[in-house]
Structure 1
Amino acid sequence: MQRQNLENVAWLRQKRAEGALLTDYARSHLDPGVLEESFCEVPSDGTIPQEVLEQAVKNLWALPRAWREYLGWTRQSAAAHAGVPEQLYVELEEGFDKLTVQNKMKLASALGLQSTQLLIEDQP
């Protein structure tokens, strides 16, 4: 069973690198431990992983969406991390470009990101 889990983790990481999105069906049918291991963590040095930037550009996503996908979070889990209702999180994510820098910084903090990891487009 352990070998199968390692193969699932490798497969999920490969699919994520190819830009595949994990469906709700897949989330509900895979071992939670496999899902946990297949997703990445936020770099503590304040950098943005290449995969986050590539997904944002490729899919025309705002950075919060790219980060959410990178971390393997649903909108519901991102809202829980941010401590806001899911509908409010959806509005923040979809309207990210219209938020003030101060609100973007609050969202970054709520998601466990450093402000530089979410405000790249606002920097000179």
Structure 2
Amino acid sequence: MEQSSDTVTKAKIDPKDKVIQIARYFVHQNDKDKKGLSPLKLQKLLYFSIEHPEITDEMFGSLLPEEKEVLDMVWNVYGKYDGKYLEMLSHNEEPWQEARRGIETEVPSRNIISPDTMKSYYEQRLKEAQ
């Protein structure tokens, strides 16, 4: 157990468990909204969620209000699109392209997308949107 700054004790959660919580949240949203949720779409929704520090920083128990706020925003912006469209969006962005630099489009890759590249890319996009 760890003591947080607001003196509420929270159990640490494994990052893999957090991903499952987030995936379940999107499945629940889809059940309510009936927009369709393929494995590819779920993968891309998770991708668009992880650039937010509210999700990637210290991970505790069930979803925190600020995490839910980010997930609601991701769902509201991207939930209406199918997996192939979300794939096209993510593949046209700098973080994905940087990780694939020098690799043919049809060749699979396990290169890791840099969290620093994602952070700076999405911070810049946020500034441009404001």
The TM-score normalised by the length of structure 1 is 0.27
The TM-score normalised by the length of structure 2 is 0.26
Greater relative CO (CA pairs within 8 A, separation 6+): 2
Q: Which has the larger radius of gyration?
A: 2
